[in-house]
Amino acid sequence: MTASDNARRLVQVAAVAADSKQATDLVALDVSGPLPLTDAFLLATGRNERNVLAIVDEVEEKLAEIGVKPLRREGRSEGRWALIDFGDIVVHVFHEEDRMYYGLERLWRDCPVLPIELPTPASE
């Protein structure tokens, strides 16, 4: 199986939202093969707890604007690793240290990476 077109669209919206709040190391993985419950993971890193929460808020807001509400949230209160389940996609926003510690890319290394197109920053 491969990620649905809707999952790919949601990953794109979520990635642009995360990027707008200075998320780093954005990676989208097609987990539709091994996981029957979701099509894709979006992984993002925030510099600190406050940045993690800002990224989470922006992702939720931008997906809500297109009519997609989270089914479940985990870890938001700590600001270290927040998981937002939107059904077709699950967004993981990590503090830098937690991202390295949990290493989801290693766990899901056999899953294909989905392309993400981010806006090009304006030159100063």
Q: Are 55 and 43 in contact (CB under 8 A)?
A: no
Domain 5-114: top CATH class: alpha beta
Using CA atoms, how far apart are residues 56 and 120, in angstroms rounded to an integer? 22
So what's the pLDDT on residue 54? Answer: 96
* pLDDT per residue as tens, the chain (124 positions): 688 999 999 999 999 999 999 999 999 999 999 998 999 999 999 999 999 999 999 999 999 999 999 999 998 777 899 999 999 999 999 999 899 998 998 999 999 999 999 988 755 5
